[in-house]
Every structure is written in structure tokens, then in C-alpha cells.
Amino acid sequence: MEAKRDYYEVLGVGRDADARTIKRAFLRKARTLHPDVNKQPGAEEQFKEVNEAYSALSDERRRANYDRYGDPNGPAGFGGEYVDMSDIFGGGLGDIFDSFFGGGRSSAAPQQRARGRDMGISLRITLEEAASGCTKTISYDRLAPCDDCDGSGVAEGGEETTCSRCGGSGRVVEVQRTIFGQMQSQGTCPVCGGMGRVVDRPCETCCGQGRAPERETMDIEIPAGVHSGQSVRVEGRGEAGVRGSQSGDLVVRVDITRHERYERQGDDLFCRVEVDAFQAMLGTTVTIDGIMRDEDVSVTVPAGCQYGQQVRVEGHGMPRMGTSARGSVMAVIDVRVPDDLSDEERLLLGRVAELRSAATRA
């Protein structure tokens, strides 16, 4: 298998390059290699290679792993504490570039077009983390406000003015003569792209958009009691708006992994508790690990308990979001017949069986 090229070589920067230099080099190469721009054979593969290099070097942790181990995921492919994010609203970095090269242009109203889109990612946590609440550090790619122009899209010495073609409306009306007479049609202004304003000296880094692809790292607070499929919304951390317009939100959907002991139903936790037949007949107390850290749950098995009977232990289930209340642990009793009886135990059980048989005949 052919060895991968050095990521620094792919971007054309030195190993001591700072984050801004890396981003600028990435954008320069990506503009010339993006499939919408470059139709040459091999351009798409080069574009993917540039994306891969930037994805590794734009993240401090991944870059440190790459510098030390030659792999952004660290030794043996483990990436440390960061969470691997998957985009649930779009197509990842490729979709971000589609939006970047499109410049936010569409047939919608300028105000709708300027605002950044909401972004959605999924975050996988354990049932224990869902019970106690947790903080997760995540890394994800988005169009963020451009550092070089502070999000304005205007280079030093430039200015933004009202578009003379559309008068600031972002729309133009065209009149065509047909055999049926004059026909009017309305479309996006070709000069300002529907923004209503033009920049005489656009920022070279962001092409005048005021935003550019960026690797973001942030902490996400997951509330105690969250259910799988619920979302946490972080305002303003989605796609940045065009030229300083409002940013979209980041919507984090929570997925909870399957637990080895507990099965969640609402705020109750179901689990199987094994007792032998004698304990089921006479009654017993079994202590199991709770869902909270260092929590013990005492399950009182009543005398005469049957196989599959459920025993409720209140106040030890999942927290109810926003309250101090908790659901219950529902212990499903699994009665096991011993298969290792001693001779003495067999004699005693035989006597018990005779007594029950006599009582039945009487």
C-alpha cells in the first residue's frame, strides 16, 4: 500500500506553522482543487488529501499526535478525549465547502440567505453519563467568522456599499419581449449575488464572505436524565452568517449506548437479578450496583417469589430532567435451581418433600 504524503507537505507549510498559516494554506489549495472549480483528472483526490491534512493539523490534539506518532489519532489509533462527531444535518467538510463556494447565494430573501445555517451533530454517551450529566469536549468543522477581516468580508482599506444594480434589494426585474407581449421575471441580482451590498476589496482569505472553514473545539454540557434522541442546542455555534450576519445554532443530538445490566424504559431501569430457588422460597435481599457512581441498590426479594416477578426499588432509576426526582429500578427475578446439592442437603430436601406430600394428602 502506498504511503501517505506528509500532511505539512500536502499543505505546503513548515512544521512550525501557526494555526492561521495552516488555514490560509488550506483555503488557497482547496479553492483550486474543489470539484466545482477544478475538473482535471485527479483533482478530487487531491482535494480529499488536502481536507485530510487540514483535518489533522487544524486540531491541536490531533496535530500533537501526528507530530509525535505520525498518526493524528495517536498511538494504536486512539484519539484521546475528543469525541468523534458525525454531521446529522449535512455532509461534513465537503458540505461546508459547498456552502463556502456558493457564498450563501440562493433564491431566498437576502435576510434568510445571510443567516448561517443550523448544524447538527450526534454525540454518543454512556447510560451512566446520561444519569449523572456530563461535559464532553467535541471538535467539529464549520464555517466560522473569518479571523483576517473579523467577519466583515472587507479587506483592509476596502468598504461595503449598496449595490447599484438592485438598489439594495438583492433582486432584479428583467423584461423580455415575446409574441405574447412583454414578460417580466424576477431573479437574484447577478452583481451582489442577492446580498444587496457589494465589497470593493474583498478579504482574500474568505473571498468576501466574512466566514471560512474552521475546526472548532468546545465543551458541551449534557443534562442529567437526558434521553436518547433528545438534543442540546448551542446558540450561535452553527454556520456563521455572511459578512457578520447572525450565525446558526449547533444542535447536538444525544445517542446513549446500550448498557450491560440496565435497560431503560422512560425513567425506570429494568435489570435481571438472579437468586436460587431457596432464596426465592424463603425471601432474601440482594445488593446490586446502581447507575450512579458508588451507588448500591438493595433489592428485597419477597418469600415465595416466582420466576419473572418484578420487584420495584423506588428512587434509584434515572433522574427526571430538571428535577431532583428519580425513577425506579425494576428488578426482574430470575430463579435458578441449584445443581450442586450436597448429600446432606438432598436428604433434608427429601424430608421436606415428604412433609409437603403428606400435607397434600391430608
Does residue 229 fall inside a structural domain? Answer: yes
Q: Which of 310, 231, 309, 324 is nearest to 269 (CA)?
A: 310
Do 204 and 124 belong together in one domain? yes
Here the cell at position 122 is 450526534
For residues 109 and 222, which has the higher predicted lDDT (pLDDT)?
222
Same domain? For 74 and 90 the reply is no
More confidently predicted of 255 and 180: 255
User: Is 255 strand, coil or helix?
Assistant: strand
Query: Quick one: which of 280, 289, 251, 207 has its CA closest to 87?
Result: 251
Q: Give the Cα separation of 207 and 274 in Å (integer).
A: 66
The answer to whether the beta carbons of residues 116 and 246 sit under 8 Å apart is: yes
- Residue-wise pLDDT for 270-289, tens only, equals 999 999 999 999 999 999 99
pLDDT for 107 equals 36
pLDDT at 129 over 70: yes
Listed residues 80, 103, 123: the one ending a domain: 80
Which residues are CB-contacts of 293 (< 8 A; sequence separation ≥ 6)? 128, 132
Structural domain including 38 reads 1-80
pLDDT band with cut points at 50, 70 and 90 for residue 362: low
Tell me: do 211 and 137 sit in the same domain.
yes
| 358 pLDDT above the threshold of 50 | yes
Of the ranges 112-116, 158-162, 276-280, which one carries the lowest mean pLDDT score? 112-116
Q: Rounded CA gap, 116 and 101, in Å?
A: 14
* Cα gap 153→198, rounded to integer Å: 10
Q: Which of 1-5, 55-59, 83-87 has the lowest mean pLDDT?
A: 83-87
Q: Is residue 181, in this structure, part of any structural domain at all?
A: no
Q: Are 328 and 316 in contact (CB under 8 A)?
A: yes
Please indicate, yes or no, whether residues 11 and 59 belong to a single structural domain of this protein: yes
Q: What is the pLDDT of residues 62-109, one digit of tens each?
A: 899 999 999 988 875 444 344 444 444 444 555 666 667 654 443 333
Q: Per mean pLDDT, which of 100-104, 109-113, 114-118 is the most reliable? A: 114-118
Check residues 201 and 2 and name the one with the higher pLDDT: 201
| Shared domain check, 88 and 31 | no
Instruction: List the CATH number of the domain containing 351.
Output: 2.60.260.20
Which of 258, 278, 304 is the C-terminal boundary of a domain?
Answer: 258
In a domain, 211, yes or no: yes
Model confidence at 41, pLDDT cuts 50, 70, 90, reads confident
**For the residues 37-61, what does the mean pLDDT come to?**
86
Does the pLDDT value for residue 361 go beyond 50? yes
Residue where one domain finishes, among candidates 240, 258, 276: 258
Instruction: Label residue 3 by pLDDT band (50, 70, 90).
Output: low
61 shares its domain with 151? no
Across 28-32, 124-128, 345-349, least confident range: 28-32
Comparing 299 with 62, the larger pLDDT belongs to: 299
What gap in Å lies between CA 93 and CA 215, rounded to an integer?
10
Read off the pLDDT of each residue in 189-205 and give the average, rounded to a whole number. Answer: 86
Query: 241: which DSSP letter?
Result: P
CATH of residue 74's domain is 1.10.287.110
| Cα torsion 352, 357, 358, 359: sign | positive
Is the domain of 252 the same as that of 135?
Answer: yes
Same domain, 268 and 311: yes
Q: Strands 250-256 and 119-125, how do they pair?
A: parallel
In a domain, 164, yes or no: no
pLDDT mean across residues, the chain: 86
DSSP per-residue codes, 66-116: HHHHSSTT-GGG--TT-B--EESSS-THHHHHHHHHHTT--SS-HHHHHSP
pLDDT at 77: 46
Residue 84 is predicted with a pLDDT of 41
pLDDT category at 112 given cuts 50, 70, 90 is: very low
- Tell whether 185 is covered by a domain: no
Instruction: Give the pTM.
Output: 0.74
Statement to judge: residues 216 and 132 lie in one domain: yes
Provide DSSP, 134-174. EEEEEEEEEEEE-TTTTTS-B-TT--EEE-TTTTTSSEEEE
Asked whether residue 22 falls in the same domain as residue 147, the answer is: no
Q: What is the pLDDT of residue 30?
A: 84
Would you say residue 169 lies in a domain?
Answer: no
pLDDT band at 110 (very low <50, low <70, confident <90, very high): very low
What does the alpha-carbon distance between residue 286 and residue 96 come to, in Å, rounded to a whole number?
54
Listed range (116-120, 182-186, 199-203, 260-264) with the worst mean pLDDT = 182-186
Give the containing element (helix H, strand E) for 185.
strand 181-188
Tell me how many domains the chain contains.
3
- The yes-or-no verdict on residue 336 having pLDDT over 50 is yes
Asked if pLDDT for residue 228 goes beyond 90, the answer is: yes
Which amino acid does the sequence have at 285?
T
191 within a domain of the structure (yes/no): no
Structure confidence at residue 85 (pLDDT): 47
Q: Give the residue ranges of DSSP H helices in the chain.
A: 7-11, 19-33, 43-57, 60-69, 93-102, 110-114, 127-132, 277-282, 343-361
Residue 285 maps to a domain: yes
Residue 36 has pLDDT above 50, yes or no: yes
Q: Are residues 229 and 328 in the same domain?
A: no
Tell me, yes or no, whether 59 and 112 share the same domain.
Answer: no
